[in-house]
Amino acid sequence: MSAKKLLLIDDDLELTELLKEYLSPQGYELDVAHDGEAGLSLATSNKHYDLILLDVMLPKLDGFEVLKKLRTSHLTPVLMLTAKGDDYDKIFGLEMGADDYLAKPFNHRELSARIKALVRRMALLPSGSVQQNLKLGDVVLSPSAQQVFCADNIVELTGTEYSILHLLMINQGSLVSKQDISEKVLGRKLAAFDRSIDMHVSNLRKKLAVFSPEEKIKTHRGAGYLYVVPA
Amino acid sequence: MSAKKLLLIDDDLELTELLKEYLSPQGYELDVAHDGEAGLSLATSNKHYDLILLDVMLPKLDGFEVLKKLRTSHLTPVLMLTAKGDDYDKIFGLEMGADDYLAKPFNHRELSARIKALVRRMALLPSGSVQQNLKLGDVVLSPSAQQVFCADNIVELTGTEYSILHLLMINQGSLVSKQDISEKVLGRKLAAFDRSIDMHVSNLRKKLAVFSPEEKIKTHRGAGYLYVVPA
DNA sequence: TTATGCATTTACACAAGCTTTACATTCCCT
DNA sequence: AGGGAATGTAAAGCTTGTGTAAATGCATAA
């Protein structure tokens, strides 16, 4: 397990220093931003943080604004911190899409335990479903560009093919039922005798096979499809 | 999106009633258990709760014990509740595998917001990834992939074979009647002279025997089959 | 309008896998 | 022991899901 990357957005220099010293020995890589704008730009950069610690009272862009803008494009987990122990604030933050909320002053060990709990839970998510390039064997899928490369060649996929591949890759090693594919990709229930998904998968396989011989999408008869985790 | 199923384990009758009335209109299905044992048995049943609200002070089995036992087999998210606002308690709970911790008395809206945050986060997990693998001796069964490994080799099973193995492994050490297998796996009553199950078990044994010599599925003549608990 | 690109439906061949048959074997019970 | 019933299993039969080419539909662009 590689070191988890955290981003701390807080303008309190004393606190950020303290937390840096406290969290580093626990095996976290901690970046710090001292205002909302800098924080947001780091958070949306390609550094792909595992967790963001976000203060509410911030210069330039307050915590709620940062959270709101972040959530338009990223699902990175966010733990909010605030000087005010205000219930309303807490509820507002959580409703806006924060994952946890801790009032200052907090017990360092509680912060550490909450970070650990969030990171642990997020580790169950398949790698990269929080929007970064998915690389599996010789296939690379780039969500930002909606492009797929196979053995360094661009693969020209249609929108639906791309979405199906994306879904399967996110769920690498797990079975995805046709029902799920239909609902998530085509936006409709799978009807009896609907062969649409089969066709898209067939075309997808054909296009990938041009550049790479290994079987990537496995069929589970009567159940669905599965993206094979490369050795 | 179907209604989320919550399990509340708390012996405070007044509180459970209150929460039931508070949470139902918000679109949650809430089951209640009033002691640790009942709670654990519901939590590990096949009802598949989306979230468990767990009080610490409980008759029969306290909250920490319930959490500990639950986590040996299930990854269901847990939000702990406690009368004591004790930091040590909080940290202990989170370290044990709880996902969140709220001290009583709490603001109902905060509880609701925290439930929402957890459920929202869990919804990102691909369906089925909360089920954890079943490991018995050198056999590992992965429900999310519907795949089975034996002595580190993938065993290619058909859907029916997989289901039968799953059923037997879940009931390790106890007898499962052919009637039960037929009804749960094939979805029909076992008819006289129906040799279907026998065939599937035979094929299953053959496939497992390729990688491991020990007998895993034992026959109880006239009664059914049993998965042997490994030494 | 006509072209173009993509999603969907149709059609059919094929293969996977569930079930049945048939016979060998094993396990009880007397 | 011997006989009958339950089980093991190979092989055949049959049903159904899947792969895929080709036709169709249906937008949007030229």
pLDDT computed for residue A21 by the predictor: 92
CA nearest B114 in A: which residue? A94
Mean pLDDT, chain B, rounded, equals 91
Q: Kindly determine whether residue B129 and residue A174, on different chains, have CB atoms separated by under 8 Å.
A: yes
pLDDT tens readout for residues A83-108: 876 788 889 999 999 999 999 889 99
Cβ atoms within 10 Å, residue B198: 12
Residue A1 has pLDDT above 70, yes or no: no
Question: Who has greater pLDDT, B139 or B2?
Answer: B139
B212 neighbors B150 (Cβ within 8 angstroms): yes
pLDDT band at B66 (very low <50, low <70, confident <90, very high): very high
pLDDT tens readout for residues B84-138: 767 888 899 999 999 999 998 899 999 999 999 999 988 776 555 567 788 999 9
Q: Report the distance separating Cα A211 and Cα A157, nearest Å.
A: 13
Name the residue among B104, B119, B112, B206 with its Cα closest to residue B155. B206
Q: Which residues contact B110 (CB under 8 A, 6 or more apart)?
A: A87, A90, A91, A94, B102
How large is the average pLDDT for residues B201-213?
97
What is the total residue count of chain B?
Answer: 231
Contacts of A78 in chain B (CB under 8 A): none
Distance from CA of A52 to the nearest CA of B (A): 15
Q: Report the distance separating Cα B206 and Cα B202, nearest Å.
A: 6
CA nearest B144 in A: which residue? A174
> Count of CB contacts below 8 A, A vs B?
82
Distance from CA of A215 to the nearest CA of B (A): 15
How large is the average pLDDT for residues A31-39?
95
**Residue A218 β-bridge partners:** A226
Domain ranges of chain A: 4-124, 134-227
Q: CA dist A72 to A31, B20, B59, B223, Å?
A: 22, 33, 45, 59
| CA gyration radius, chain A | 21
Q: Report the distance separating Cα B17 and Cα B24, nearest Å.
A: 11
Instruction: Indicate yes or no: pTM above 0.85.
Output: no
Q: Report the distance separating Cα B8 and Cα B39, nearest Å.
A: 8
Q: Report the distance separating Cα A149 and Cα A157, nearest Å.
A: 10
Contacts of B117 in chain A (CB under 8 A): 94, 97-100
CATH code: domain B4-124 is 3.40.50.2300
Name the residue among A84, A105, A101 with its Cα closest to residue A14. A105
What amino acid is encoded at B104 in this protein? K
Domain B134-227 listed as CATH 1.10.260.40: no
How large is the average pLDDT for residues A148-159?
95
CA–C1' A129–C10 (A): 36
- Max avg pLDDT among A81-95, B6-20, B43-57: B6-20
Residue in A113, A126, A180 closest to B91 by CB:
A113
Q: Which of residues 112-171 of B touch strand C (CB under 7 A)?
A: 158-161
Q: Which nucleotide is nearest to B200 (CA to C1')?
A: C18
| Strand D protein footprint, C-beta under 7 A | A 178, 195, 198-199, 201-202, 205-206, 219-224; B 178, 195, 198-199, 201-202, 205-206, 219, 221-223
Share of chain B above pLDDT 70, in %: 95
B70 neighbors B79 (Cβ within 8 angstroms): no
Residue in B99, B109, B113 closest to A121 by CB:
B99
CB A193 under 7 Å to nucleic chain C:
yes
Contacts of B110 in chain A (CB under 8 A): 87, 90-91, 94
| 3-class SS of residue B137 | coil
pLDDT tens readout for residues A131-143: 567 889 999 998 8
Residue B145 has pLDDT above 80, yes or no: yes
Share of chain B above pLDDT 90, in %: 79
Q: Report the distance separating Cα A228 and Cα A210, nearest Å.
A: 18
| Interface test with chain A among B54, B71, B147, by most A beta carbons within 10 Å | B147
Q: Which positions of strand D lie within 7 Å of protein CB atoms?
A: 6-11, 17-22
DSSP characters for A134-161? EEETTEEEETTTTEEEETTEEE---HHH
Q: Kindly determine whether residue A107 and residue B91, on different chains, have CB atoms separated by under 8 Å.
A: yes
| 3-class SS of residue B60 | coil
Let me know if B72 is exposed, middle or buried by CB neighbors in 10 A (0-12, 13-18, 19+): exposed
Interfacial residues of B (vs A; Cβ cutoff 8 Å)? 75, 77, 87, 90-91, 94-95, 97-100, 107, 109-110, 113-114, 116-117, 120-121, 124-130, 144-146, 158-159
Residue in A77, A100, A176 closest to B100 by CB:
A100
Q: Kindly determine whether residue B126 and residue A171, on different chains, have CB atoms separated by under 8 Å.
A: yes
Residue A30 has pLDDT above 80, yes or no: yes
Q: Report the distance separating Cα B29 and Cα A55, nearest Å.
A: 34
CA–C1' A144–D8 (A): 57
